[in-house]
Amino acid sequence: MRRKIFGRQASFLTAAAVVAHTIWTSAAPVLTYPIYAHEWGLSTFSTTAIFAVYPVFVVLVLVLFGNLSDYIGRRETMLIGLFASTIGSLIFAIAPDIYWIFVGRAFMGIGVGLSAGPSAAAVLEFSAPDKLKQAGSVTAVAQAIGMSGAALVGGALIQYAPFPSRLNFAVLTGILVLVTIATWHLPNRTASRPHGKWRPGIPSIPNGFFAPFVSATAAVTTAYVLGAMTLSLGAQVAHDVVASTNALMNGGIITIFAVSSAFATAPVRGRSPGSVLRIGAVIGLLSVGCLAIAAEEQLLIVFASAQIGAGVAYSLLLLGGLSLINEGASKTHRAATLSALFLVAYLAQAVVALSLGRIATTAGLANAVVTGVALIAVLAVITLLLDAVRIRTMRANHSRARHDP
């Protein structure tokens, strides 16, 4: 039986669904952490370690296979990644103890590591010719949809359905199977070097692209650290600061972050990538200030405002960073360059999740939040400084080009 090949529009939507799965898979266990802590007597450090296993394996995969889709094709690489994510979700659904959870988290990390770069590249490559500049925005919205699905669907199933620690992952497994089937029908023409010999290697940066890459990576890393705080400590913050034990309500708090990030891209449409990431960095600074106040005073309205600001900052930083890569990197090196970017971002996410979990366990949740706030503020300032260097370098290059005979 011949495989039906999707057209451009269906392929574009499928690639966006694969992007959404990377965040849904990452966020799915968040609301079950309190259940695991209660059933198995886990500390905050143990639950954040479950979260951190995921980006650690993402990083390992990106180091070894970051350029794989440039050789064998986006479709093939995404299919392998989706299969690994599905296995990980299934393991969560049947896990009898925490050791199975760590194995499942590792498979999720492998799946996302294989599909994060190729799916972001595929969104651009399947975009309509007149909408290429919107690819970064679509990627950011797809991630917001994935986070919202994890928080709301997961929260509802955990709170109101039977088997609260399992049904969430059974549903996710079914969704991943559907996305995998859709991905099977993608055209496999997106490999830029189908006849080349692939070798494992660290994701590379094209010559002459260092300044934009560093600026973009700083922006996306800041966004992912914001996400790490929301996903690794989000349920505990909602439980302790907001004083709610309802999983759906806690998921709703996390969804504030996701929904605000989904709507954040519309007002900045048409702006340059650098302008977008600078706005995101400033909003990130303001939002973490609100979060520090909320953690200290335990004010719901301030915490909600912090989540809205963090969601907007996350989306703009991600959009600005990805757009810099999409506009500057050639198709031949696009997936490898995106993989290099995600390598740094996920590594930072893993370190931050483990560090904040350790601080929360030994010194309390409020101190962990304050530490995270300070770290994000530093990263936001670094992002602004690096982008200023990028602009100066770009202007110097343009000036040199005008004066060269």
Record the tokens describing residue 364, joined without a space.
């309390």
User: Worst-scoring range by mean pLDDT, 13-27, 187-201, 307-321?
Assistant: 187-201
Residue 176 pLDDT greater than 80, yes or no: yes
Q: DSSP for 99-153, please give it.
A: HHHHHHHHHHHHHHHHHHHHHHHHHHHTS-GGGGGGHHHHHHHHHHHHHHHHHHH
Residue 254 contacts residue 152 (beta carbons within 8 Å): no
Q: Is the pLDDT of residue 100 over 60?
A: yes
Does the CA dihedral 214-215-218-224 come out positive or negative? negative
242 pLDDT band, cuts 50/70/90, is low
For residue 194, the model assigns a pLDDT of 46
Mean pLDDT of the chain: 81
Q: List for the chain the helix, strand, coil content (%; round to 5).
A: 80, 0, 20
- Per-residue pLDDT band for 354 (boundaries 50, 70, 90) equals confident
User: Token pair of 106, please?
Assistant: 């590792």
Res 200: pLDDT: 67
pLDDT at position 384 is 93
Q: Going from the N-terminus, what domains does the chain have, and what CATH number goes with each?
A: 8-191+205-400 (1.20.1250.20)
Which spans in 241-330 are helix H?
A: 247-263, 273-297, 300-328
For residue 234, what pLDDT is reported? 56
Q: Looking at residue 83, what is its pLDDT?
A: 97
Please compute the mean of the pLDDT values over residues 358-379 and round it to a whole number.
Answer: 84
The pLDDT assigned to 155 comes to 82
What pLDDT, on the 0 to 100 scale, is given for residue 189? 58
In the prediction, which pLDDT does 206 show?
67
How far, in Å, CA of 335 to CA of 401, rounded?
Answer: 29
3-state secondary structure of 271: coil
Residue 236: the pLDDT is: 62
Confidence of residue 307 (pLDDT cuts 50, 70, 90): confident
Residues 386/215, Cβ–Cβ less than 8 Å: yes
C-alpha–C-alpha distance, residues 58 and 73, integer Å: 19
> Does the pLDDT value for residue 255 go beyond 80?
no
User: Any idea what the Cα angle at residue 356 is, between residues 309 and 388, rounded to 5°?
Assistant: 50
Query: Which tens digits make up the pLDDT trace of 50-91?
Result: 877 887 888 888 878 877 777 788 899 999 999 999 999 999
Taking the C-alpha atoms of residue 277 and residue 41, their distance in angstroms, rounded to an integer, is 41
Distance CA 104, CA 86 (A): 9
Coil, strand or helix: which one is 173? Answer: helix
Here the tokens at position 7 are 């057209």
Lowest mean pLDDT among 12-16, 266-270, 367-371: 266-270
The mean pLDDT of 206-223, rounded to a whole number, is: 84
CB contact at 8 A, 331 and 191:
no
Please give the average per-residue pLDDT across 140-145, as a whole number: 83
pLDDT level of residue 238 (50, 70, 90 thresholds): low
Is the pLDDT at 26 greater than 50? The verdict is yes
**Tens-digit pLDDT profile for residues 274-298:** 899 999 999 999 988 887 787 677 6
Segment among 158-162, 169-173, 305-309, 401-405 with least mean pLDDT: 401-405
Q: With contact defined as beta carbons under 8 Å apart, do 17 and 146 qualify?
A: no
Higher pLDDT, 330 or 178: 178
The size of the chain, in residues, is 405
Backbone angles phi, psi at 90, to 5 degrees: -65, -40
